[in-house]
Amino acid sequence: MGQHLSRVMWVAWISLLAASGTSSAPDRDTVTVMTYNIFHDGEDSRRAVAAWSDRREAVVGTIRSRAPDVVGLQEAEVWQVAWLVDQMPAYAAVARGPYEDPGLVDAETVAILYLRERLELAESGHFWYSESPESPGSYGSSAYGGMSRPRMATWVRLVDRETPGRQGFYVYNTHFIADAQATDPGVARFKSAEMLVRRISDRAHPQAPFLVIGDLNTESEEWPLRYLLGSRCESDDACPTPEPTPEVRMIDSWAWWHPGDTQTGTRCNAATGDDGMRVDYVLVWEPGPEARICDSEDGSCEIPGILSAEIVESGSGCPSDHKPVVAEIELPVPE
pLDDT score at 123? 97
Q: Which residue has the higher pLDDT, 97 or 23?
A: 97
Per the structure, the count of domains in the chain is: 1
* Domain annotation covers residue 47: yes
222-254: pLDDT as tens digits: 999 999 999 888 777 778 776 677 888 999 999
Which amino acid is residue 313, in one-letter code? E
CATH number of the domain at 158, please. Answer: 3.60.10.10
Q: Which residue has the higher pLDDT, 22 or 228?
A: 228
Mean pLDDT of 102-107: 92
* Domain annotation covers residue 17: no
* Domain annotation covers residue 24: no
- Could you list the residue range(s) of the whole structural domain that residue 203 is in? 2-9+29-332
Q: Specify whether the CB–CB gap between 163 and 177 falls below 8 A.
A: no
Q: Specify whether the CB–CB gap between 39 and 324 falls below 8 A.
A: no
* Domain annotation covers residue 23: no
Residue 327 neighbours by CB distance under 10 Å = 27
* Domain annotation covers residue 94: yes
Q: Rounded distance, CA 223 to CA 119, Å?
A: 34
* Domain annotation covers residue 235: yes
Residue 106 neighbours by CB distance under 10 Å = 11
Q: What is the pLDDT of the chain when averaged over all its residues?
A: 87
* Domain annotation covers residue 325: yes
| pTM given for the model | 0.90
Q: Which residue has the higher pLDDT, 148 or 332?
A: 148
Mean pLDDT of 93-113: 95
Mean pLDDT of 263-275: 92
Whether residue 7 is predicted with pLDDT greater than 80 in this model: the reply is no
Q: Specify whether the CB–CB gap between 103 and 137 falls below 8 A.
A: no
157-173: pLDDT as tens digits: 999 998 877 889 999 99
* Domain annotation covers residue 89: yes
Whether residue 108 is predicted with pLDDT greater than 90 in this model: the reply is yes
